[in-house]
Chains A and B, each alone.
Chain A
């Protein structure tokens, strides 16, 4: 595990000396801030209106602000995450540093975990920005913290599974742009699959919808912890990392 941490640290270092970390942090800070602002402004206008009309409709911060913002962030993350994972192996292959890694006394699994973990930690840093936005809601209002926490767990798991799949894609090519493009396409497909049940409720549609990564996030954002969704994300992560391991192994045989 010491090796995993060594590799993870080096990856984090590379993120922060390249523009990619700063660009993503900026994008997340900006979009997260805007979503929170827009949702809160709408919420304030709505509650003023209902007060003036004499309605005492219970306005719920969780339902009206936090859930929509989290869902938006989930979709954005889906499309920005390939940018985090694209360089993990593609860059090593291009530079030839992969030869250093695989001829060092470390196991393939340690290399893979270290790299994936660095991307996951980087994603965690992005989520902290959203959490910072939400802190204002806690200062000026009193939302229920449990669904918020669960929402973040869901976001985190969703990101971790996308990153695992994109890590695998990164082992397939030397070109970061190609890795990002394929990752992006995959994210798009996984997103679109959730629409399968919109007009069709046949068995096939339900299976497709189940595979979609976003459909599992909904329950998290509503504050419901369903073991089914939890297991879905964990198996997705396992699947992605497993493919990465096989791909790395086959690279050695073919190289």
Chain B
């Protein structure tokens, strides 16, 4: 649906986006992740034909953003970081205006305005002036505006920024509901958001892509091998070193690390040999020894750690 190849955006003194390439398939939700100032907004602005690229190409639904901007614009719904609303208009008048701009007319227009207002949960404030609405409502009006012409591609720039936790949840639900019929690219610097909504992530830092993959693959890949955290209680005779020895003697286990002990419970970190999973053996071994197995959970890097590793800074590193 979206193909970006070698996209570069140069300014007089710096490069905002440096030779990035990625593609998005139809119906996918892709998260654009990166610290502030990484080039997320710039990339989105190129995709929405707001600004032309300095180099490289981007095609949306088969149309080049530079050569066929009208065709691209017709197929894209865009929600910039600040919802582009006119405070002096009512929600209904505003949505009707945007609908007309996007080429909807007559009876269709009225129907679509009601539909998107319902869908984005702004139907109850349809006749209020936008200037009187809270930030959460404005954001949803912005979202309603983006989907009014039922575009194939939705581009959302930080759709949950500045909202309270309840509104964030509502907005995420809404975006998830939109998936399937629309191909969605959204940008964010909030990691749990990507885990919650997206199937695929593109991590971008200082204008370059540092990773593109599905959320599971990315966390998995960073880990390399299967690792589990194990909590158990011995019979009182066997000590920490006995447990460690017994576990290390198992064939699939490469490393056993003692973490800590609370009351009579011992916690270990067990790493399998690459490509194998020793979970079943470990569990059987513990039970056969007559110990109580309390907890066994898989350890994977959180996206946060992945992100830190890839960008080499704190998640909000480039913040002013």
Interface residues of A (CB under 8 A from B): 2-3, 6-7, 10, 13-14, 17-18, 95-107, 252-253, 255
Contacts and interface: CB of A to CB of B under 8 A. Distances in A.
Interface in B64-112: 70, 73-74, 76, 78, 80-89, 93, 97-98, 100-103, 105
Nearest to B70: A105
A235 to B, nearest CB: 30
A139 to B, nearest CB: 39
B48 interface: yes
A106 B101 contact: yes
Nearest to B75: A105
A103 B50 contact: yes
Given A104-B73, A105-B70, A18 B50 contact: no
B61 to A, nearest CB: 13
B101 A104 contact: yes
Nearest to A110: B101
Nearest to B48: A103
A242 B186 CA distance: 36
22 contacts: A2-B100, A3-B100, A6-B97, A10-B86, A10-B89, A14-B88, A95-B84, A96-B80, A96-B81, A96-B82, A97-B85, A98-B84, A99-B50, A100-B101, A103-B48, A103-B49, A103-B76, A103-B78, A105-B74, A252-B50, A252-B51, A252-B52
Contacts of B160: none
A105 B73 contact: yes
B78 A97 contact: no
Given A13-B89, A14-B86, A100 B49 contact: no
Given A99-B80, A255-B51, A104 B98 contact: yes
Contacts of A96: 80-84
Nearest to B157: A99
Contacts of B78: 99-100, 103
Contact of B87 (A3, A95, A103): A95
Contacts of B97: 6, 10
A100 B87 contact: no
The 4 A-B pairs with the shortest beta carbon distances in the complex, nearest first, are A100-B84, A105-B73, A104-B101, A97-B84
Nearest to B97: A10
Contacts of A107: 70
B contact patch SS: loop
Interface centre among B73, B100, B101, B145 (most CB of A within 10 A): B101
Interface in B3-51: 45, 48-51
A6 B101 CA distance: 7
Given A97-B86, A104-B102, 15 more contacts: A10-B89, A13-B88, A18-B88, A95-B86, A96-B81, A97-B84, A99-B50, A99-B78, A99-B80, A100-B98, A102-B50, A103-B48, A105-B73, A105-B74, A252-B51
A105 B98 CA distance: 11
B17 to A, nearest CB: 13
Contact of B45 (A2, A14, A100, A255): A255
Nearest to B78: A103
Contacts of A13: 88-89, 93
A99 B84 contact: yes
A252 B65 CA distance: 13
A7 B82 CA distance: 21
A253 B51 contact: yes
B50 A255 contact: yes
Given A103-B78, A255-B45, A17 B70 contact: no
B129 to A, nearest CB: 9
Contacts of B102: 104-105
A81 to B, nearest CB: 21
Contacts of A98: 84
Interface centre among A2, A101, A105 (most CB of B within 10 A): A105
A105 to B, nearest CB: 4
A13 B81 CA distance: 26
Contacts of B93: 13
A100 to B, nearest CB: 4
B84 A105 contact: no
A35 to B, nearest CB: 33
A253 B50 CA distance: 9
Nearest to B42: A255
B50 A17 contact: no
Nearest to B69: A105
A199 B76 CA distance: 61
B86 A105 contact: no
Nearest to B142: A100
